[in-house]
């Protein structure tokens, strides 16, 4: 298992929250049969050692999106990209509602 973590927030409370969030994301990936897991700069990289890797990757995307929706509705969108034959990258893109910011 490959684990790459980056901690760039300076507040101790933020570091603890980010560490817990990263651990939760990695636990979800492990539960969905990911064999190699790396988390770097807000992107989750996983590899599947199964012939059914397409179904596993889609299941992981669904589980991650459900996890974030349960934390806070419409907070972020999980974008999945295939990197290699059995490797995938999952980006966590914040959803910005400009109506709440007073821009629109």
Query: Are the beta carbons of 94 and 104 closer than 8 angstroms?
Result: no
- Domain 12-101's class? alpha beta
Least confidently predicted of 3-7, 52-56, 72-76: 3-7
Query: Are the beta carbons of 87 and 45 closer than 8 angstroms?
Result: yes
Quickly list DSSP for 12-27: HHHHHHHHHHHHHHHH
> CA of 15: how far to CAs of 9, 30, 45, 56, 85, in Å?
6, 22, 21, 30, 34
Question: pTM for the full model?
Answer: 0.76
pLDDT for res 67: 95
**Residue 100 tokens, joined:** 């709440």
pLDDT for 8 beyond 50: no
pLDDT tens readout for residues 79-96: 999 998 889 999 999 887
Length of the chain: 104
The rounded distance, in Å, linking the Cα atoms of 18 and 6 is: 10
């Amino acid at each position: 298992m490959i684990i790459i973590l980056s901690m760039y927030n300076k507040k101790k409370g933020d570091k603890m929250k980010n560490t817990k969030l990263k651990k939760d994301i990695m636990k979800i990936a492990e539960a969905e049969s990911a064999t190699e897991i790396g988390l770097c700069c807000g992107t989750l990289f996983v590899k599947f050692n199964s012939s059914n890797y397409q179904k596993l990757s889609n299941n992981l995307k669904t589980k991650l999106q459900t996890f974030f929706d349960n934390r806070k509705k419409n907070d972020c969108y999980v974008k999945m990209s295939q990197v290699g034959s059995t490797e995938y990258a999952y980006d966590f893109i914040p959803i910005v509602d400009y109506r709440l910011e007073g821009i629109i």
